[in-house]
Structure 1
Amino acid sequence: MHHPRAVVIGAGIGGLTAAAALHRRGWSVTVLERAATLEPVGAGISLAPNAQRALDTLGLGDDIRALAAWQGDGGLRTPGGRWLSRTDSAAMAVRFGGPMVLLHRATLVDLLVSRLPEGRVRTGTAAQLADPGTPGRPALVSTGDGVLEAELVIAADGVHSDIRHTLFPRHPGPEYAGFTAWRMVIPAPERAFAPHETWGRGRLWGTQPLKDGRVYVYAGAVTPPDGRAPDDERAELIRLFGDWHRPVPEILAAVAPHDILRHDIRQMTHPLPAYHRGRVALLGDAAHAMAPTMGQGGNQAIEDAVVLAHHLAPDSADPSACLAAYTADRLPRTMDVVRRSDRAARMITLTGGAAVALRNTALIAVGRLLPHLALRAFDGIADWRPPEPAYPSGAGAGTHAVAHRSRHARPDGGTDQEAL
């Protein structure tokens, strides 16, 4: 039996999900990763119900749901500790049919790799697109070991994608979003805390528990691009956040400078003309880099991968029509999420004292009148479902998600509890 060949360039979350989904559809998949290993450096990822339902198609949704650590209250705070708004994990699960799950990226990578045959991921392998292919000619990928032919190439090579530039050289590419982010995963503080995100003047801090007892911490600040701390990033964070409410000082006292990741946030608010050309499909940050302010970057990459595999039958000798359908499905949705993330970033990173005071006052007032208002920002995002047939026969995760949907969702997209 002939298995069409697919080459995935980039072994991040989107690339590995695409590889696993295509393998499940009968494709012979090779993943090429420039880095020497698949060990993601200390960072977490938030998986909303939309990504969990996408992972149901790989039989991984329930594995992810079992890692949910957020229980009870959480919400938005000021640097002094005052609550701007509150919500709880149960409200999220009821409104969108599943919990919000934070986990270490390494955990998700291991789960995705487990869905691939041994040897399909080649690390330490830089790759370039030599020819995007045509309906009558395969695509060509150049590596240090030679040239690979493929019926399909998936470019999952990140925000600075070389393949995107090759396919669409006139596109301006990603732009600086105006702020820099720091991330770390550390042991939990001794004293318990409620999960929170804290908004200051041009600064953001988040402290979120993981199931394994550690804490995922992220921070952001309005800074010029390409900056670095004059001493180390821990000292920089102490200058920016050292006097904020607990557990921020405790976390900064415990973290080692080398455990802190720093990177500028870049986004693509100007859409590509398409997410494909020839036999090449772009997905994830390569197609639609977005600000992390709604936590949807990895989630949208996972959606991309599942929708792409849905359109690509194993007998697709010429995937051109399939890739056009992929673009038609994904470009409008992902650009909507890019724009919504950009609007959220602008609100979070306000720097003027009057503007910040007005924002905080509005959040407090509206939160009292309409509890769980913050969840409504995810309407149309977290309630997304994979294209049918969504769940393979016999997959326990799919059965769970369908049952959950039947309890909570209505055809008009609302929920059983209108107060939410």
Structure 2
Amino acid sequence: MIQVSQALSIISENSCKMPIKKIKVHKSLGFILAETIYSPIDMPPFRQSSMDGYAFSFSELNQFDIVGVSQAGNFSNEQIKKNQAIRIFTGAYVPDCLDTVVMQEHTQRNEQTITIIKKPNALTNVRSKGEQIKKEELVLEKDTLITPAAIGFLACLGITEINVYKKPKVAIVVTGNELVKAGKKLGKGKIFESNSVMLKVALQGVGINKIKTFSVKDNLKNTKKTLQNCLSKFDVVLVSGGISVGDYDFVKEALLYNGVEELFYTINQKPGKPLFFGKKDKTIVFALPGNPASALSCFYIYVHLALKKTMGFDSVHLNKIKRKIKTPFQNTTGKSLFLKGFYNDESVTVLESQSSAMLNTFATANGLIYMPYNTELVAENEEVTVIPIN
């Protein structure tokens, strides 16, 4: 049995970035960039008006004849004299012979003549060529998370495809004879299966959508066969249940039978002690406890880390913050604890129903309070570590 810090180190060392693929920019949201990108053009690619108004060559004159119009995407008249101006609109081309734009609100127009009643400074309201970015300047560095703004920026530079790290395909394998799908009749001794739904949503929250769920009875033969299939087709395999030491817990035996290397099994923590982490070739495997609160706690602390590393993220751990605990808490277990809690800007409260089988307070918790195995007592108003989860 190992400590939490050891488990995190082993997972980090054995979780590698996925292969690189080329993807359309408009489909790249949430991916990590696998290349450094430089601008293929100046942006804007021409001198551009930032206002609706009139463009002119700055001088002592205040009255100009209107000799043309420049609207976004359409202008032809380049021959403009000192006493002449053009009607211009936001985003439109500013001819080289003109250098200033006056807002239309600061002019009076009489047919084809304008008088400037509030004169701007020279060069006002004209965006220079390459003002935002110049050709061959850095656009985005490798390992950048692609956001909606990043997609917009790439698109405005005419970039249609980029190289990103693939996101893993994930299999969820749920074990247990007692499990019934929600919506079905609940027979005697049966419970509704919730872990696959919970884990699938948690995966989607990390940005993973290629997920397939498998159900297997507590039977060694079927468990071996299902895991063999998953190990050959998926990048990450999450097994729910069947990993403890009961007579019908076959998951560890089936994993080892299928050539999975055991990297650790059991952690000195509560909840989630019977956690298995292993690897076969490039496929990583987590066998999570079957109790829902244990499974979700292990997902946040351990699986989340591995997934972020495979996706190419530099920052892979959930954030940690400090809060003052509202009531004293004693740890007599000798284990590291992950307690469901609710925090605000100043303090954190330990919620009721800390059982590994209970999700009722987990559903309202917004953080996990981490108490190391060697901390026996936390006094009221003492600072503790909180891991935000929502």
TM-score, normalised relative to structure 2 = 0.24
More relative contact order in 1 or in 2 (CA 8 Å, sep 6+)?
1
TM-score, normalised relative to structure 1 = 0.22
More helix by share: 1
Larger gyration radius, structure 1 or structure 2: 2
